[in-house]
Amino acid sequence: MEAARIISLFLPLCFLKVADTTAINPCCYYPCQNNGVCVNVGMEDYECDCTRTGYYGVNCSSPFFWSRVRKFLKPSSRFMHHALTHYKWLWYIINNFSFVSDTLMRLVLTVRANIIPSPPTYNSDSTYLSWEGYSNISYLTRLLPPVPKDCPTPTGTRGYKTLPDAKELANEFLLRRKFIPDPQGTNLMFAFFAQHFTHQFFRTDLKRGPGFTKALGHGVDLTHIYGDSLERQHHLRLFKDGKLKYQVLDGGVFPPSVKDAPIKMKYPSTLPEGKRLAIGHDTFGLVPGLMMYATIWLREHNRVCDILKEEHPTWSDEQLFQTTRLILTGETIKIVIEDYVQHLSGYHFKMSFNPELLFTEHFQYSNRIAVEFDHLYHWHPLMPESFIVKDQEFSYKDFLFNTEILLNFGVEALVESFSKQHAGQIGGGRNIHHSLLPVAIALIEHGRLLRLQPFNEYRKKFGLSPYKSFQELTGETEVAAKLEKLYGHIDALEFYPALILELPHKNSIFGESMVEMGAPFSLKGLLGNPICSPDYWKPSTFGGKTGFDIVNTATFKKLICLNVKKCPYVSFHVPYDVDNDGESKERKTSTEL
């Protein structure tokens, strides 16, 4: 305790930006290392709880023997990224030996998922553990507690007492000057899939505050397909053969209109009622890309219902519907891991969806969405300057709330067009379209209301070395100098701006932190789904071998091609013969339609 008092008295001398000489909460200095928990003692003292961290000492900075060994043997994240994205010949061999690849996949899942605490820990209303934080699922959980309210600066003790203006920050560092395509070749099919998939669980309840959620499922529950309430689900159901309502237009199956499925959807009043389509998520009428995926999943649901009906003619409508929903949940998770995450990672190691890999591990089948995961996943730089469908160009104004694009062109045309159009690079900064910049500004302001800890504290939480300078973060000098002038110190840099401004990996869509922080949240959420547990993961859950096979053989390409008349080019990657300039040489504008 005496050593702790000496440290708490000495630390203020190290932070010359803080002029206030009054007593400072010592936890504002984040003295506890290696996941140690800081607890106030008395008026000016603290102690670090090092329980089960593998470290000891006043600040949990001294490793026990085995912690020292593990730290010595553990390869750095940069080494692992290099190894996984190079030596394609070696990974080809590994991928063809199931025992080796399964062992590696199990290691990936356990190491990543174990970073995320389960049960959940903090919420945005307190800096300590509480029963309310655990039991009230209307809260988004927190990986790190909020910055204490009595700290000298908004991020603790470093930097200035006032953070830079969010609007000026976004305009200077996030606003696009020129479209920067993702060097991995990511396309708009990926961009819209990311948005469609994540918005089933990223649903901030802004009426209550940015620390609350309306998505009480906290994971892959397909509420974006079936609705977030029983009443909404019933309006969308046909109540025959387990199917969802639909309409047929020019021989194609599309979601019903709000007239046939009277649910609340967010459309402008100027849009004719017949063009207002009814789907699970109330805001997905915003973008044709989201409505395209809603149509594909609607068709897939009804397709699977037909298969189950033929195999189980005695089943009720309810059993057909509920079993189909479980099958689509399994399909979603498999596609996300084996197609979506695989593409995102750029790894040569072939990722696989096999819940049985975790059956011998200590793994909890539950999940809570974290505030940090929600903020991390704001990937607005993916969106291009305009949208190209069959060589016709649509501005944001013409694209938004335009359901006619889907109805007139059809799913096949949208899939092929979006598969061939480049998405933007997420990392590196200055790549958010001006139409989407207000969303980024609001997110930065929400992070401040939530008192998110500074970026370097999250780096440490995920086992990464904190950045020592803005230049190390950005990989250049001009932007780094401007950031230092605004923030005063790298340890004062905020969470979301840092993720977007971090230097991307070579030929990659974003940088080290986005990968190392995003992967644990993603894999824990996916494999923590109930259908992945030993009691659920069996053929009978999915209606027998036929339904189980649908899940186990699902791919992104099959999802599309089984639900269109003619299979177009389908991928999360643009064709290799498409120029990497984000432009189309010959196209018509939307006014020429």
Q: Which residues does the annotation mark as catalytic? A: 199, 377
Strands (E), 268-416: 387-389, 392-394
H or E element in which residue 444 lies: helix 437-449
Helix or strand run (H / E) with residue 252: strand 252-254
Q: Give 84-88's long-range contacts (Cβ < 8 A, gap of 24+).
A: 84/345, 84/346, 84/347, 84/348, 84/349, 85/346, 85/347, 85/348, 85/505, 85/508, 86/348, 87/348, 88/348
Give which of 394, 419, 420 is closest to 405, Cα–Cα.
Answer: 394
CB 449 within 8 A of CB 206: no
C-alpha–C-alpha distance, residues 228 and 271, integer Å = 24
Name the token pair of 436: 């989407």
Contact indicator for 296, 559 with CB cutoff of 8 Å: yes
Q: Are strands 252-254 and 387-389 parallel, antiparallel or unpaired?
A: unpaired
354 is written with which tokens? 């096999």
Residues 6+ apart with CB under 8 A from 497: 169, 173, 174, 444
Query: Tokens 């949240």, residue?
Result: 521
Task: Decide: 546 and 311 in contact? Cβ < 8 Å.
Answer: yes
How far apart CA 84 and CA 350 sit, in angstroms, is 10
- Residue 576, helix vs strand vs coil: coil
At 290 the three-state DSSP class reads helix
Q: Say which DSSP state 45 is in.
A: E
Instruction: Quickly list DSSP for 58-112.
Output: TTS-EEPHHHHHHHHHSPPHHHHHHHHHS-HHHHHHHHT-HHHHHHHHHHHHHHH
Give the position of tokens 């000016």.
44
Torsion of CA 78, 82, 83, 85, to 10 degrees: 130
Burial class of residue 318 (count of CB atoms within 10 Å of its CB; 0-12, 13-18, 19+): exposed
- Collapsing DSSP to helix, strand or coil, 204 comes out as strand
